[in-house]
Amino acid sequence: MRSLREKLALANQKLERNYPEPKLVYQQRGTAAGTAWLNTYEIRLNPVLLMENQQAFIDEVVPHELAHLLVWKHFGRVPPHGKEWKWMMESVLGVPARRTHQFELESVRPNTFPYRCKCQQHQLTVRRHNRVVRGETTYRCVQCGETLVPER
C-alpha cells in the first residue's frame, strides 16, 4: 500500500497529473503475482505470494501493475508491455521494466511434472508421475503416439 502511494505520487509529480489511487484487492489466484484491471481501476495481488515475497511486491509487482493503469489513463489503449509501458516503468516510476515478475513459488505452482514427447510438453499430475517413477505404467501422447519421458 505504501509503495503504491509512493509510486503514484512520483508519477503524478513527473506527469503533472493527479491520477487517483487504484484500489488494491487481495484476491489474485493461481500463479500470477498480480493483475491490473482497467475497467474497475484496481490491482489484484496474490495474497499467498505477497506473504512470501513482500519485498518483490514492493519493488516489482506493484509498480508493474500500477504502470499498466497509468499507461491506460495517460495514453488510452496501447499494447500492454509496449514502449509506453516501458517508459512509464523506467522514466516515470524508476523501476526496471521486466515483462513478468521475477519469482514463482512452489505454493502456487500447479502440482504437476513436465514430460516431453516428440511434439510437445505435457504436464502429468503427481499421481501419474509417481506411477511412472514406480514403473507401473507409461503414458503416450495422443497426437504423436510417443511415450512421454520426464523433462530433464
Asked whether position 144 contacts Zn ion by CB under 5 A, the answer is yes
Asked whether position 123 contacts Zn ion by CB under 5 A, the answer is no
Distance between CA atoms of residues 58 and 30, nearest Å: 20
Quick one: which segment of 4-12, 41-49, 70-78, 144-152 binds Zn ion (CB under 5 A)? Answer: 144-152
Asked whether position 141 contacts Zn ion by CB under 5 A, the answer is yes
Asked whether position 51 contacts Zn ion by CB under 5 A, the answer is no
Closest C-alpha to 101, from 89, 115, 114 = 89
Q: Which is nearer to Zn ion, 99 or 134 (CB)?
A: 99
Which residue in 143, 149, 150, 151 binds Zn ion (CB under 5 A)? 143
Asked whether position 119 contacts Zn ion by CB under 5 A, the answer is yes
Distance between CA atoms of residues 149 and 139, nearest Å: 9
Tally the C-alpha atoms within 13 A of residue 117's C-alpha that lie toward its C-beta.
16
Active-site residue, 42 included:
no
Burial 20-38 (b: 16+ CB within 10 A, else e): eebeeeeebeeeebbbbee
Catalytic choice (21, 42, 65, 106): 65
State in angstroms the smallest separation of the CB of 85 from Zn ion: 7
**How large is the C-alpha radius of gyration of the chain?**
20
Cell of 146: 510417443
State in angstroms the smallest separation of the CB of 84 from Zn ion: 12
Cell of 50: 505477497
State in angstroms the smallest separation of the CB of 13 from Zn ion: 23
Q: Which residues bind Zn ion (CB under 5 A)?
A: 117, 119, 141, 143-144
Binding-site entries for Zn(2+): 64, 68
